Amino acid sequence: MKILVLNAGSSSQKCALFELERDTPPDPIPPLWEGKLEWDGNQETLVMNSSRGKMRKQTEAPAAKQNRQRSTEAMLENLWSGSGAVLSAPAEISAVGHRIVHGGSQLTEPVVIDARVKQGIADLTALAPLHNQAGLQGIELMEKLLPDTTQIAVFDTGFHRTLPLAAAVYPGPYEWYERGIRRYGFHGINHQYCAGRAARLMRQDISSLKIVTCHLGNGCSLAAVNGGRSVDTTMGFTPLEGLMMGTRSGSIDPGILTYLIRAGDAGDQLDDVLNHRSGLLGVSGVSRDMRDILEAIRSGNQRAKLAFEIFVHRLQAGIGAMAISLGGLDALVFTAGIGENSPEIRHATCAGLGFLGVQVDDVKNSAANPDENISGRDASVCVFVIRAQEEWAIAQDCAQLCHFE
């Protein structure tokens, strides 16, 4: 069956079409077609890739991101029309899967989308405004383009439903927890995929493994995966908690916020600072992109160097905390944009983790062939660089759900 996946990020829209059977093995197969739209200020970049070839197009339009739905529709039309078409008609698509960032306490398993599910996703918009809204727009677009096709939501919070209460409940008043203010955790689709992939690469049953997965993209989070279940994670009630990120601060002393509020800063202002003007960008003043930070360090920029060092310091602290939650460590996984592509970050991070049994082979780390074990000869922990495969993981969930429907 052919399954189309929509993965709506805060500043990107990825789509991929897979052909898979009910018993397709868990390791990824290349999509028949994939497309990605990325927005940076007024600039929109479209990249498409299929057996029919590759194309890249850059356009400038004021508030490019506002045209998300229109641009996504135009991108998807390439599936069934034009010279690069891989389908003869849209009806060939059996199901559409959507990555939905926040499912809250109720929406934890992959589910066929109906009015109730849509309302549930909309109700959670306040907790992940950019992401859940983009997810809903994708659902509505597909309702328009493929009104008779099953649509399935897969939740990025779902994998963390197994967090023990000690990890999930904040030490504020208990009433917060009763109101739904708790740690949900995010990036679950990729954390789950990477832990499973690591176990298969180790040729061991995941039920006996303790794995820390480091998802380091524009957003960054860690997960502690014990026997295949998430038992701790760094993101929390929202995707703002935890590690330092491209433009997000990650965890800071909440006293800073009350101090700034008393000094006259409004809630929306603080929200903007913490989400869009902090992290690598905020500290360095250079960029949110790790590539630019590394470049600036090479030309002697001290604030870029500080941003790098804070990033690594917090990452190491987080890995330590996850290893403690697991009571041991068999594998450490680096994934997503920074995790997959920056030997510098992997080297600096692992250099401080020798006491945990982590040791990286410099040659393998520099080469970092996808899904390779880069640990050194004396290591007791396997260190993997694993390509994020969110669309593939969602397609598999869809195939399974369609099977049981």
Q: Show which residues are catalytic.
A: 156
Nearest C-alpha neighbor of 10 from the set 133, 193, 126: 133
What beta strand segments (E) does 257-349 contain? 331-335
CA distances from 35 to 55, 67, 335, 353 (A): 9, 16, 20, 38
The DSSP call for residue 377 is T
Name beta bridge partners: 240.
none
Token readout for 21 is 């059977």
Q: Which residue has the tokens 């960032």?
A: 101
Tell the smallest beta-carbon distance from residue 10 to ligand ADP (Å). 7
Nearest C-alpha neighbor of 180 from the set 196, 151, 157, 198: 157
- CB-closest chain residue to ligand ADP: 337
Q: Which is nearer to ligand ADP, 14 or 182 (CB)?
A: 14
Tell the smallest beta-carbon distance from residue 319 to ligand ADP (Å). 18
Q: Which is nearer to ligand ADP, 116 or 291 (CB)?
A: 291
The DSSP call for residue 148 is T
Instruction: Give the pairing type, strands 53-60 and 2-8.
Output: unpaired
What's the N-to-C CA distance of the chain in angstroms?
14
Tell the smallest beta-carbon distance from residue 335 to ligand ADP (Å). 8
- Output helix, strand, coil percentages for the chain, rounded to the nearest 5: 40, 20, 35
Tell the smallest beta-carbon distance from residue 184 to ligand ADP (Å). 18
Tell the smallest beta-carbon distance from residue 166 to ligand ADP (Å). 29
Q: Which is nearer to ligand ADP, 336 or 401 (CB)?
A: 336
Tell the smallest beta-carbon distance from residue 341 to ligand ADP (Å). 3
What beta strand segments (E) does 227-350 contain? 229-233, 331-335
Q: Give CA–CA dist 356/329, Å, rounded.
A: 7
Q: Which is nearer to ligand ADP, 139 or 388 (CB)?
A: 388
Tell the smallest beta-carbon distance from residue 9 to ligand ADP (Å). 5
Token readout for 264 is 């006259």
Tell me which residues touch ligand ADP (CB under 6 A): 9, 12, 217-219, 246, 289-291, 336-338, 341-342
Q: Which is nearer to ligand ADP, 75 or 336 (CB)?
A: 336
CA distances from 332 to 137, 161, 210, 348, 350 (A): 35, 21, 9, 14, 10
Q: Give CA–CA dist 172/398, Å, rounded.
A: 38
Tell the smallest beta-carbon distance from residue 288 to ligand ADP (Å). 6
Kind plus residue range of the DSSP H or E element containing 36 = strand 33-40
H helices present in 84-157, as ranges:
115-123, 129-145
The DSSP call for residue 66 is G
Q: Which is nearer to ligand ADP, 97 or 246 (CB)?
A: 246
Q: Which is nearer to ligand ADP, 33 or 311 (CB)?
A: 311
Q: Give CA–CA dist 153/149, Å, rounded.
A: 13
